[in-house]
Every structure is written in C-alpha cells, then in structure tokens.
Amino acid sequence: MASYNKIILVGNLTRDPQMSYLPSQMPVVEFGIAVNRRWRGTDGQQREETCFVDCRAYGKQAETINQYLAKGKSVLVEGRLQYDTWEGKDGSKRSKHRVIIERFQFLGPPGPPTGRPAAPQQAAPAQAGQDEGDYEEPSPPAEPGGDDIPF
C-alpha cells in the first residue's frame, strides 16, 4: 500500500524556539506555531479557529531557526508528521503529533537576529554519501574598481 507523509503550514510562533542538543551534539530546536482558519458559517457569521502545532528541526536548520525566529514571527514550515507516545507521570498513556521540519521559509519583514546565541561553531561530520573533500569554499567577491569591468 502506498503512503505519503507531507505537511505544509504557515503560521506564527507561539513561543520562542528552545534549543537543545542530542548526545551526538546535533542541535535540535523545538517551537510551536498557531495556524488560523477563517470561514463564513451557514448563518453568514465570520468564524475562526486556531490549530496549535509543535515543530522540531535538526542541524543547521535548528541553529538558523533559533537565531532568527522569535514568538510572534511568521514562518512557513514543510515537513512530515511524527506521532509520539509516552506514559505520563500518573501512569496514563499520552500522545501527540509534531511536524519534523525538512524545509522552512521566513515570512514577513526581515528583522535582526533575536540575540539568542547560535550553536557553537564546530566541525560538522560529513553527511552520508558526501566526502569531506567534496566541499568547496565559495570564492570571495571581486574587489571594486578591478580591471574586470568591461567599460
């Protein structure tokens, strides 16, 4: 049987991102967004409902989200749904869905960094299927007033 797990949401952060690290030192950031839906009911009245969604991102994306997003900022997230279950302190079974972010885009006017520190700079391990030697530094921008101007 075929399956497909993809979600795209646009909303506003309900709280500041919370950065943490896995035992492997991989950065992880968690935050919530509120997604609003507006419609007109059969009685002609304007209606609105809000859905609150927990999100999680890993790696460089986590660092960027932590540095530039804050409560109230708009963001588009694209990812997959993950279903978590656990046992509460009182012994009851608990569960919830969250979005594991694969891509995101800042929305709204650009702003300065939030002032929260980014993750410490350290050499990242090579991704699977990528040699460390495959990475090439971008060349620096050309100096102004150089001889490469065609006029």
Q: How many C-beta neighbours within 10 Å does residue 20 have? A: 11
Q: What is the pTM of this model?
A: 0.70
What is the predicted pLDDT for the residue at 76?
97
| Amino acid identity, position 31 | F
Distance CA 38, CA 19 (A): 32
What is the predicted pLDDT for the residue at 109?
77
Q: Is 17 exposed, middle or buried (0-12, 13-18, 19+ CB in 10 A)?
A: buried
Distance CA 96, CA 16 (A): 20
What is the predicted pLDDT for the residue at 130?
37
Distance CA 113, CA 62 (A): 14
What is the predicted pLDDT for the residue at 144?
44
Tokens linked to 99:
């979005």
Phi-psi domain of 61 (left: phi exceeds 0; alpha: psi -120 through 50; beta: other): alpha
What is the predicted pLDDT for the residue at 108?
80
CB 17 within 8 A of CB 30: yes
Q: Which ranges of the chain have pLDDT less than 70? A: 111-112, 115-151
What is the predicted pLDDT for the residue at 116?
67
What is the predicted pLDDT for the residue at 118?
61
Q: Report the SS3 class of residue 6.
A: coil
Q: pLDDT by residue (tens digit) across 51-64?
A: 999 999 999 999 99
Helices of type H across 15-151: 59-68
CB 53 within 8 A of CB 59: no
Structural domains of the chain ordered from first start: 7-114 (2.40.50.140)
Cα dihedral 142, 144, 148, 150, rounded to 10, equals 140
